[in-house]
Amino acid sequence: MSISKNYLYNVLLIISNTIFPIITFPYISRVLMPEYLGKVYFVQGVVAYFLILSVLGAPNYGIKELSKAKGTGDWVEFKKIFTELFIMTIFSSIGSLALLLVTVQVYGKFSAEKMIFYIFAMQVLFECFQINHFFIVMENHKRRLIRSFAIRILSLGFLFYFIKTPSDYYLYALLLVVPEVLARIIDVISVRKYFYFKDLNFKRHTSNMFIIFLYIFTIGIYGSIDTTMLGIMINDVEVGLYTAAVKMYKMVLPVILTLGTVLSPRIIGAIKRKEKTNIYKNIDVFIDYCFIIGVPATLLMMLLAREFTLLFSGVGFKGSIDTMIIMSPCLGFLALGSFIGGQIMLPNDLEKDILFISIFGVFLNIGLNYFLIPIYLRNGAALATLVTEIIVALVKIYKMKKLYTDYHILNKDRILTVLLGSLIAYIIYINIDLVRKFGDLISLLTVPVIYGIFYFVILIILKNKRVLMWLDFIKKRLHI
332 pLDDT above the threshold of 60 = yes
pLDDT at 14: 65
Residues in the chain: 480
- In degrees, to the nearest 5, what angle opens at C-alpha 214 toward C-alphas 213 and 218? 115
What is the model's pTM? 0.71
Measured over the CA atoms of residue 117, residue 121, residue 122 and residue 126, the dihedral's sign is: positive
* Closest by Cα among 294, 279, 298, 293 to 400: 279
Q: Please give the Cα distance from 61 to 228 (Å, whole number).
A: 27
Mean pLDDT score across all residues of the chain? 81
pLDDT at 377: 86
Q: Count structural domains, the chain.
A: 1
Q: Once rounded to an integer, what is the mean pLDDT over residues 216-221? A: 73
318 pLDDT above the threshold of 60 = yes
Give tens-digit pLDDT for 149-175: 777 777 777 778 888 888 888 888 888
Measured over the CA atoms of residue 393, residue 395, residue 396 and residue 398, the dihedral's sign is: positive
Q: Once rounded to an integer, what is the mean pLDDT over residues 205-215? A: 77
- What are the DSSP calls for 65-103, one per residue? HHHHHHHHT-HHHHHHHHHHHHHHHHHHHHHHHHHHHHH
Does residue 103 belong to any structural domain of this protein?
yes
135 versus 115: the higher-pLDDT residue is 115
Does residue 468 belong to any structural domain of this protein?
no
Does residue 422 belong to any structural domain of this protein?
no
pLDDT at 479: 63
189 pLDDT above the threshold of 80 = yes
Give tens-digit pLDDT for 10-51: 666 666 666 677 777 778 878 887 778 778 878 887 888 888
Does residue 464 belong to any structural domain of this protein?
no
**DSSP secondary structure code for residue 314 in this structure:** -
207 pLDDT above the threshold of 70 = yes
State the residue range of the domain holding 176: 3-409
260 versus 73: the higher-pLDDT residue is 73
pLDDT at 263: 63
Q: Which residues contact 29 (CB under 8 A, 6 or more apart)?
A: 37, 244, 312, 313, 314, 316, 317
Rg (CA), the chain: 22
